[in-house]
Amino acid sequence: MLYTIIKALHIIFMVSYFAGIFYLVRIFVYYKDTDEFAEEKKKILREQYTFMARRLWNIITVPAGVIMTVCGITMIFLNLGLMKTPWFHLKLTFLMGLAVYHYWCWKKVLQLKQLDGNTLGTANIKLRQANEIATFILFLVVFTVILKSQVIEYWWQLIAGFFVLVFLIMMTVKLVNKKKKK
């Protein structure tokens, strides 16, 4: 029963964490979108986006990430057999990628604060593409957890499907960005 309750909490805070990460990077995109605005409007919006990013990071994303991680580690201690399964090692590998992405987001939040309303150096299209990284990691982790050993058995079909998904999402981002410029 305890394991199931911890698992439910892990899932709830995983959803909260990913919601925070998804919206955070979208705020970076919005900040960058202000480059072509009039100075007064740009200043007001950039202050607001910086404020929103810091609040989202400090009040939702990081606390949800910490609780998600604590619940995950607790589940490992309650079921040490997880560490003997190949699919779980794969999940942990994807979570290492999420940790790198989390660090990148944290650095961007700090950068926004230090910019003091100046232009963000990262290209708009790069921010839009970076916005999809969390989506890819979420797909990888969820499919791994749901399919478990089948992920190992059918790895090449899943990788092919993943690359098709990545390609379609990236092309959609480029198409939307192209229409936006017109």
Which residues carry a binding-site annotation for heme?
10, 91
CA distance 181 to 164: 26
Nearest of 57, 45, 46 to residue 112 by alpha carbon: 46
Nearest of 14, 101, 111 to residue 63 by alpha carbon: 14
* Residue 98 C-alpha from the chain's centroid: 7
Q: Which residue has the tokens 């797909």?
A: 139
Question: Annotated binding site, which residues?
Answer: 10, 91
